[in-house]
Structure 1
Amino acid sequence: MADETQTLSDLSDLGEAAGVVAEAVTEVAEPKRDAQGRSYATGKRKDAVARVWIKPGSGKVTVNGRDQTVYFARPVLRMILDQPFVVVERTGQFDVVCTVKGGGLSGQAGAVRHGISKALLAYEPGLRPVLKRGGFLTRDSRVVERKKYGRAKARRSFQFSKR
């Protein structure tokens, strides 16, 4: 059907043509899983990059070979990691193994959350609307602004002295 070209004579034909296009677009994406049944995704936030694998399990999260409670000691950071599972109502159903490099703990937690969201999408493509609505699939592109010469920081000037 994609090879057909139609000429529209008036606006009433537009609805029929849109129905043909909608049928072609509604194909469901296939889940992407490896031989072990895992889905992989890369998450990024600030300077941190996280490589995330998820597979069905008991809800255990391992970050750089350590448990999440050890690596992310602050409860707020652990809450950030759990957000995608809470939104899609899959808490405790997936084991997460991830490696994360760069940035600080806050950026790393955001990168892991982004990676978990993308891996969930690869594992179960039907979750896309829920994750998209929550803003979990969008990479937060805000990074630290560089320091400029003649300035104390990125934008702050040195203190002015009249004398």
Structure 2
Amino acid sequence: MSVQYFEGIGRRKESTARVRVMNGTGKVVVNEKLAAEYFTRMGDMEKVLQPLQATGQELTTYDITVVVKGGGVTGQVDSVQLGLARALVKMNHDYVSMLRKYSLLTRDARIKERKKPGLKRARKAPTYTKR
């Protein structure tokens, strides 16, 4: 038995999420855990499911499975959001304009700046001492 699904890949900072959307009962699974258990911070689940709200879709009609790797909580939340938006576009290309209106299809390219030699971090210099 093969299940028809639509896949989208989202990236943010150091994290990468592979999101699969298929017809189902509204179950959201992230790394083999329920999404509410995986994303425990307040507002994270709303942010993850924002592409569904922007397109006017009901969560109860889809099952969403996510494999997310790398980064911290914020990067993972944003990468799952982008992956879900891209999967919805593969499902129905008419959603592009609705998702663009909320900037849900734009990858946030900001990443950590590399450390420079002679500095403590990317830009922080050692404290200047006169004597």
- TM band (smaller chain): over 0.9
Give the CA deviation at 1:78.
1.3
Residue 162 of structure 1: how far off its partner (Å): 1.1
Could you tell me which of 124, 128, 137 is aligned with 2:105? Answer: 137
Q: What is the one-letter code of the residue matched to 1:98? A: V
Shift of 1:37: 2.0
Q: Which residue does the alignment assign to 1:5? A: none
Picking from 105, 112, 115, the partner of 2:73 is: 105
Q: Secondary structure at the match of 2:49?
A: helix
- 1:160 is aligned to 128
TM-score where L is the length of structure 2: 0.93
Q: How many residues align?
A: 129
What is the percentage of aligned positions where both structures have the same residue?
Answer: 34
**What is the TM-score when the length of structure 1 is the normalising length?**
0.76
- 1:37 correspondence with 2:27: no
Match for residue 117 of structure 2?
149
**Where does structure 2 lack aligned partners over 5 or more consecutive residues?**
none
Query: Match for 1:116 among 77, 84, 105?
Result: 84
Moved over 3 A (4+): none
Largest Rg, 1 or 2: 1
Q: Which digits, 9 at most, give the CA deviation of each residue in 1:30-81, with x for residues without a partner? A: xxxxx52210111111111111100122322100000111111102221210
Alignment of 1:7-156 (within 5 A): 35-92=2-59, 93-156=61-124
Q: Distance in 2 between matches of 1:83 and 1:149?
A: 41
Greater strand percent: which structure?
A: 2
